[in-house]
């Protein structure tokens, strides 16, 4: 049995090309003279040949799968180029119309790209804030050294440096206007409270207070700032005189004050808003103390000044 | 010292036939292959992709059956391009040999086997495997198709030793031969 095993392993190495050249040549010499061995070797030829064919066939199937992965990569790149207008591949349009799942894929890709764009915007925002914090005081004592004549190439070089700066400045102005105007600040600081029915069952005054509070927030949410302001003043008064528990009372008053500040700002009455904010920021136990401090900081920021 | 040491190291890995290594190679060579044939004026992308897949199967066969051995005469990538070129000539007839590039003539084994013939032989093994039953089917599949070593095979099948695994494989091969 052991000899048989050794022999079969040798036959296998011969058929699978694993024999070293010298051993192979010696083996082939033996095969020429030994007919029994030759018959045995030939009998195994189709077995090993078929195994290799099967391996090749399985490899071909794997290749198909790898290529399918590549096709997906290339399709995704084509969609991205199409969405970002780097290409106007008509096939993307055609395929979207013909294939609902492809259209869904494009839609998902679009959402992803929008998400990345928003994330980039936030990074840009953070970067701007960091530039602002590092901003050196402006040097107001510039010395006039007289006019100098510069060669043309230096002007071009200067232009090459200045052009991106101008674009950056324009982008900064745009960004400041989009994010630091009165209305933008209100939108970024405003959060609608979820009152629901948590206060029900505490008497008619509570119901009225809750109704007024909700309506006031509805005005603020829909940017009807004068109406919101009026109603929040009422809410504040109603809350102060109501019979509700102290914790709820404080919540209504604090929220109404903070909301009034936002409504004033939204109504372009920044000075009045700042007065109110100073009151809130000056009271560490106020529920909106921290937000007021942040908003104050933003109202005095470099970008805010750019937006005005 | 070989001129293609890195390629020879890669060849040793590919020799084992592990598909993970081959996938890496495919990812590495695919784009250069497409670019190369595009530069040669073959603009039908699907045709080049078919050419690439056929060339890869031949390369896989030549490497796993030790037809391609060290020392290498070119980079493996160049070898693949050479196979692709030959296949293209075969498709287009020998007249299209006016090929202006720096890919040398690549020693591809003469028997670039017909795809249909390969399939036929693969089907034969599948048929035999379905007849041979367990545990032989698993033993042969693990050794020949999944590249298990005898030691790993013994461990996986809980055989007492590497020798026992060799014996098992021997019995199974004999059984398979008898089914032919």
CA distance B177 to chain A (A): 7
Residue B144 and residue A57: Cβ atoms within 8 Å? no
What confidence tier does A169 reach under pLDDT thresholds 50, 70, 90? low
The answer for residues whose C-beta is within 8 angstroms of residue B165's C-beta and 6 or more apart is B139, B150, B151, B153, B154, B157, B159
Residue B66 and residue A63: Cβ atoms within 8 Å? no
What does the pLDDT look like over A198-221, one tens digit per residue? 444 444 567 778 888 888 888 888
Q: How many other C-beta atoms lie within 10 A of the C-beta of residue A90?
A: 9
pLDDT exceeds 80 at position B41:
yes
Note if the pTM is more than 0.90: no
- Predicted confidence at residue A152, as pLDDT, reads 54
What confidence tier does A38 reach under pLDDT thresholds 50, 70, 90? very high
Average pLDDT, chain A: 78
Residue that wins the pLDDT comparison between A301 and B17: B17
Tokens matching residue A256: 């109404």
pLDDT exceeds 80 at position A280:
yes
Which positions in chain A touch B32 (Cβ < 8 Å)?
A: none
What confidence tier does A139 reach under pLDDT thresholds 50, 70, 90? very low
**Mean pLDDT for the stretch of residues A127-142:** 62
Pick from B30, B124, B170: CB nearest A5: B170
Lowest mean pLDDT across A168-182, A272-286, B113-127: A168-182
Residue A71 backbone phi and psi in degrees, to 5: -60, -40
Q: Is B99 on the interface with A (CB under 8 A)?
A: no
Residue A9 and residue B61: Cβ atoms within 8 Å? no
- Predicted confidence at residue A126, as pLDDT, reads 76
Residue that wins the pLDDT comparison between B112 and A293: A293
Q: Is A21 on the interface with B (CB under 8 A)?
A: no
Tokens matching residue A232: 């929040």
Residue A47 and residue B177: Cβ atoms within 8 Å? yes
Long-range contacts for A226-233 (Cβ within 8 Å, ≥24 apart)? A226/A263, A226/A267, A228/A259, A228/A263, A228/A266, A229/A260, A229/A263, A229/A264, A229/A267, A232/A256, A232/A257, A232/A259, A232/A260, A232/A263, A233/A260
pLDDT exceeds 50 at position A18:
yes
Q: Is B127 on the interface with A (CB under 8 A)?
A: no
Q: Is A139 on the interface with B (CB under 8 A)?
A: no
What confidence tier does A242 reach under pLDDT thresholds 50, 70, 90? confident
pLDDT exceeds 50 at position A140:
no
- Predicted confidence at residue A205, as pLDDT, reads 67
Chain A interface mutation, best of B12, B14, B15, B19, highest count of A Cβ atoms under 10 Å: B19
pLDDT exceeds 60 at position A174:
no
**Mean pLDDT for the stretch of residues A13-17:** 90
Residue B166 and residue A66: Cβ atoms within 8 Å? no
Q: How many other C-beta atoms lie within 10 A of the C-beta of residue B160?
A: 8
The beta strands (E) that lie in chain B are given as: none
Residue A56 and residue B56: Cβ atoms within 8 Å? no
By percentage, how much of chain A surpasses pLDDT 70?
77
- Highest average pLDDT, of A166-175, A185-194, A283-292, comes from A283-292
Residue A49 and residue B167: Cβ atoms within 8 Å? no
What confidence tier does A78 reach under pLDDT thresholds 50, 70, 90? confident
Residue that wins the pLDDT comparison between A148 and B156: B156
**Mean pLDDT for the stretch of residues B96-119:** 58
pLDDT exceeds 80 at position A99:
yes
């Amino acid at each position: 049995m052991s000899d048989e095993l050794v022999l079969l392993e040798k036959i296998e190495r011969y058929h699978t090309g694993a024999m070293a050249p010298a051993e192979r040549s010696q083996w082939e010499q033996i095969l020429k003279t030994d007919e029994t061995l030759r018959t045995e070797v030939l009998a195994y030829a189709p077995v090993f040949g078929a195994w290799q064919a099967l391996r090749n066939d399985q490899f071909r199937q794997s290749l198909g799968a790898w290529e399918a992965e590549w096709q997906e990569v290339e399709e995704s790149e084509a969609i991205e180029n199409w969405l970002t207008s780097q290409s106007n591949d008509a096939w993307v349009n055609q395929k979207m119309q013909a294939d609902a799942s492809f259209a869904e894929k494009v839609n998902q890709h679009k959402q992803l790209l929008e998400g990345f764009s928003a994330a980039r915007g936030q990074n840009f925002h953070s970067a701007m804030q960091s530039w602002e914090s590092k901003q050196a005081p402006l040097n107001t004592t510039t010395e006039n050294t007289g006019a100098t004549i510069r060669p043309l190439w230096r002007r071009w070089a200067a232009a090459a440096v200045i052009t991106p700066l101008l674009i950056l400045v324009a982008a900064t102005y745009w960004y400041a206007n989009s994010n630091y105007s009165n209305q933008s600040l209100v939108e970024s600081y405003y959060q609608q409270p979820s009152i629901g029915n948590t206060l029900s069952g505490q008497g008619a005054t509570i119901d009225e207070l809750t109704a007024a509070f909700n309506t006031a927030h509805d005005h603020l949410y829909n940017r009807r700032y004068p109406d919101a302001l009026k109603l929040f003043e009422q809410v504040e008064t109603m809350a102060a005189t109501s019979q509700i528990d102290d914790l709820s009372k404080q919540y209504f008053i604090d929220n109404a004050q903070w909301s009034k500040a936002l409504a004033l700002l939204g109504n372009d009455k920044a000075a009045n808003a700042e007065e109110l904010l100073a009151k809130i920021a000056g009271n560490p136990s106020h529920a909106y103390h921290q937000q007021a401090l942040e908003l104050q900081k933003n109202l005095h920021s470099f970008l805010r000044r750019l937006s005005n | 010292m070989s001129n293609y040491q890195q390629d020879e190291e890669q060849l040793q890995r590919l020799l084992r036939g592990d598909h993970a290594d081959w996938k890496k190679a495919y990812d590495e060579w695919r784009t250069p292959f497409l670019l190369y044939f595009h530069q040669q004026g073959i603009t039908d992308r699907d045709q080049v992709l078919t050419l690439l897949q056929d060339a890869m199967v031949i390369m896989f066969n030549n490497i796993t059956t030790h037809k391609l051995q060290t020392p290498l005469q070119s980079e493996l990538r160049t070898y693949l391009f050479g196979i692709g070129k030959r296949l293209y000539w075969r498709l287009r007839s020998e007249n299209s040999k006016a090929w202006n590039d720096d890919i040398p003539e690549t020693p591809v084994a003469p028997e670039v086997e017909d795809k249909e013939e390969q399939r036929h032989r693969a089907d034969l093994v599948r048929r035999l495997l379905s007849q041979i039953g367990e545990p032989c089917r698993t033993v042969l599949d693990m050794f020949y198709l999944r590249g298990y070593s005898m030691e790993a095979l013994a461990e996986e099948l809980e055989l007492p030793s590497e020798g026992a695994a060799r014996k098992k494989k021997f019995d199974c091969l004999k059984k398979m031969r008898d089914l032919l």
